[in-house]
Chain A
Amino acid sequence: GIQVEQSPPDLILQEGANSTLRCNFSDSVNNLQWFHQNPWGQLINLFYIPSGTKQNGRLSATTVATERYSLLYISSSQTTDSGVYFCAVVTGNQFYFGTGTSLTVIP
């Protein structure tokens, strides 16, 4: 099956800092989503982004499907951004989660 790798696996930021999370995938995909899983386990949709760039407040995402990667940008990080960020790709009828990036934002 398709391999979906995320980097870095762990990240610690000071509040107010910016960061970039990366998602690499090994084969062409039909679609890609970014999720934030908060410390209570809730999986929140961030972006549905098969290609191009989208922005939502302090977050933005870019997917370059031809080069098989996607980036999630977090600007002016806040403590509430802490949690695990997953990308997930769709190929055929299968939905694959990436390995995740665990983010801790300290005040």
Chain B
Amino acid sequence: DTEVTQTPKHLVMGMTNKKSLKCEQHMGHRAMYWYKQKAKKPPELMFVYSYEKLSINESVPSRFSPECPNSSLLNLHLHALQPEDSALYLCASSLGQGSPAQPQHFGDGTRLSIL
């Protein structure tokens, strides 16, 4: 079983809906990440939170809004998404951000489909 838990596993939503993806870890990690993965492509980094502060935003459209309420939780709020946003969304965590970097541990992902 993965130590990073993502919910829901599957989500289908319309373009006008508002929904949220949730990620939780209890390993004491202080860095958390959101990735987007399209079919047959490697994951692409979206956001990085380090010590509950947003440290990297890879020019992600504002219809994706991350939130880190505490060191164990990471949310991704979705609003007015487009069909091309359909993808697997992966959450990961690591001990801390910095050099040398620590290994990242991934959740099982949320498969998102936009109608």
Contact = CB atoms under 8 A, between A and B. Distances in A.
Contact of A93 (B42, B99, B111): B99
Interface residues of B, number: 26
A97 B42 contact: yes
Contact of A45 (B55, B105, B108): B105
Contacts of A40: 108
Contact of B42 (A30, A31, A50, A98): A98
Contacts of B82: none
B69 interface: no
A73 interface: no
A25 to B, nearest CB: 13
Given A86-B42, A100-B42, A41 B111 contact: yes
B109 A42 contact: yes
A25 B78 CA distance: 34
B114 interface: no
Contacts of B55: 93
A48 B103 contact: yes
A30 B101 contact: yes
A16 B108 CA distance: 28
Contact of A95 (B88, B104, B108): B104
Contacts of A102: 40
A95 B43 CA distance: 10
Contact of B101 (A35, A93, A98): A93
Interface of A: 30-31, 33, 35, 40-43, 45, 48, 50, 86, 88, 90, 92-95, 97-100, 102
Given A43-B90, A45-B103, 17 more contacts: A30-B101, A33-B104, A35-B106, A41-B109, A42-B108, A43-B109, A45-B104, A90-B99, A90-B100, A93-B48, A93-B99, A94-B56, A95-B33, A95-B101, A95-B104, A99-B42, A102-B40
